[in-house]
Each structure stands twice: as structure tokens, then as C-alpha cells.
């Protein structure tokens, strides 16, 4: 039997301490959302679901929640299409452009969101898209696409490209070979990339602050507006919903990838 060394125990203890340190603020937010008073306090003076009831009765919060979902799904769709196309194109392209694609994709992540927000605000104002869902979706896509791209690069690196060559040899065109040969083998990676894009969009605040209007404001923008006026447990309620959605998306992604691995082991 392998006996754990002091280094092993220290590593596990440090890893556990770091995990608790990272998760503790989330636990505090969730607990304070059940506060029965009109202020945020930890531990709460009393526990109640009154603020959850206030959330579901607030038209403004529900509209912001709906806006976040609309923008999130739009971002996931756009970023997934662009990320998959970019990664697939680089895999089949042997020229110099393929080598330059990865650094180019990283550029939006290296630019501060404030700069992106101001630049996009001026641009969308000129083309008449300021305050629209499309403007926020396009802004979030700048950040989400690189994540999808690098996820798909990893997925495509494990793909057997001889299958694609065989499909071409049998007379299948580019679209048919991609849909019938490539897509079934990388669908779980695409799903994970889309979930990451959705989570990024759900949490993004700075660019949405510049581009949204009262009709299109997302949950983070409205939460920031409300915090400036009063710090009540409603902010914790909204944060709890965002945490649960993000954790749920991660759990779904983990289950999807594990099911793919299990199906390959059984086949």
C-alpha cells in the first residue's frame, strides 16, 4: 500500500484550503440572500424567502434576467459558430495564415473591457445598433470566441483526420463530410464551448454597461445600478441565481464529457 508522504499531505491540505478560500465568498452570498431584514448581514439576523418573492414580483429584475438569457444564448451561438469555424479552418489550413490565427484570436482578450466598451459604443452608435441586443451579443462574442476556439483546437487535436480524408475519397463534399463525419465526433466539445461562451456572457458587466439601455440591461448591469442606491439582499438573490446557473452549466458540461468518455470505453 502506498504511504502518503508529508509533501502529499501538504499538497492536499493546501489544495483544500485554496478551494475553501475560493468558495467561501459564494457561500456568504447565498446565505445572505435568505436574510429576513432589509440589509445584507452575515450571518443574517433572520432567515426568510421574502427577497426571492420580491425578485419574482419585480418586472425590472425579471426583464433583466430575460435580457441576460437572450444575450447569453445569442453569444453562445455566435461564438460557437466562429470558434468552431476558426479551429477547423486552422486544422485543415497549412499556410501561414493558419499560424497567425491563434495570436489574432487572442487580441480581444488582451484589450481592457473599458477600452472595448468605449470603442464599441462609438461604433454601434454610428451604425444605429447602440442599445440593441445585437450590440451586446457582438461585444460578448469578442471575449467568448477565443475560449471556444481554444477548446475546439484541443478537441480537433484528438480527432482522426483520416476519417475526413476517407469521406473526401468517397465523394463527399466539404459540407457533407463535416456534418456527417467531423461533427458527430466533436459534438461534445462544441457543447462545452457553447456553455463556456454562455457563462462568459452571463457574467460580463463592463461592455454591457456601455452598450445597454434600460430596455436591454442585463442582470450584472442592473445589480451594479441597484448597489449604488442601496445594498439590500436583492443583490445576493440575483447573484445566487447567477451562481446556480453557472454551476449548473459546468455540471452539465462535466456530465456530457464523462458520458462521451464512457460511451467510447463501452464501444
Looking at residues 162-174, what average pLDDT do you find? 72
For the stretch 34-50, pLDDT in tens is 877 767 767 777 777 88
Among candidates 198, 68, 195, which has minimal Cα distance to 133? 68
pLDDT(142) > 70: yes
What would be the CATH architecture of the domain defined by 62-266? Answer: Orthogonal Bundle (1.10)
Residue 3 pLDDT level (bands cut at 50, 70, 90): low
Among candidates 139, 135, 115, which has minimal Cα distance to 127? 135
Round to whole Å and give the CA distance between 207 and 139: 7
pLDDT(1) > 90: no
Looking at residues 84-98, what average pLDDT do you find? 74
Looking at residues 213-236, what average pLDDT do you find? 82
Domain definitions of the chain by residue range: 62-266
Looking at residues 182-187, what average pLDDT do you find? 78
Phi, psi of 69 (to 5 degrees): -65, -40
Amino acid at each position: 500500500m502506498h504511504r502518503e508522504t508529508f509533501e502529499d499531505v501538504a499538497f492536499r491540505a493546501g489544495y483544500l484550503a485554496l478551494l475553501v478560500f475560493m468558495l467561501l465568498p459564494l457561500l456568504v452570498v447565498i446565505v445572505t440572500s435568505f436574510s429576513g431584514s432589509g440589509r445584507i448581514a452575515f450571518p443574517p439576523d433572520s432567515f426568510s424567502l421574502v427577497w426571492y418573492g420580491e425578485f419574482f414580483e419585480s418586472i425590472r429584475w425579471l426583464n433583466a434576467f430575460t435580457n441576460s438569457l437572450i444575450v447569453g444564448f445569442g453569444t453562445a451561438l455566435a461564438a460557437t459558430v466562429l470558434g468552431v469555424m476558426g479551429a477547423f479552418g486552422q486544422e485543415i489550413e497549412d499556410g501561414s495564415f493558419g499560424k497567425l490565427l491563434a495570436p489574432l484570436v487572442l487580441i480581444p482578450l488582451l484589450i481592457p473591457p473599458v477600452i472595448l466598451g468605449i470603442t464599441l459604443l462609438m461604433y454601434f452608435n454610428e451604425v444605429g445598433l447602440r442599445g440593441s441586443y445585437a450590440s451586446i451579443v457582438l461585444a460578448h462574442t469578442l471575449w467568448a470566441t477565443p475560449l471556444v476556439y481554444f477548446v475546439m483546437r484541443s478537441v480537433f487535436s484528438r480527432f482522426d483526420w483520416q476519417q475526413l480524408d476517407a469521406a473526401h475519397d468517397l465523394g463527399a463534399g466539404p459540407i457533407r463530410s463535416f456534418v456527417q463525419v467531423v461533427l458527430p465526433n466533436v459534438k461534445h466539445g462544441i457543447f462545452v464551448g457553447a456553455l463556456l461562451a454562455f457563462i462568459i456572457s452571463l457574467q460580463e458587466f463592463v461592455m454591457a454597461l456601455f452598450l445597454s439601455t434600460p430596455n436591454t440591461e442585463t442582470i450584472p448591469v442592473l445589480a451594479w445600478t441597484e448597489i449604488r442606491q442601496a445594498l439590500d439582499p436583492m443583490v445576493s438573490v440575483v447573484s445566487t441565481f447567477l451562481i446556480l446557473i453557472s454551476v449548473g452549466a459546468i455540471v452539465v458540461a462535466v456530465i456530457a464529457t464523462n458520458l462521451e468518455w464512457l460511451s467510447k470505453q463501452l464501444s
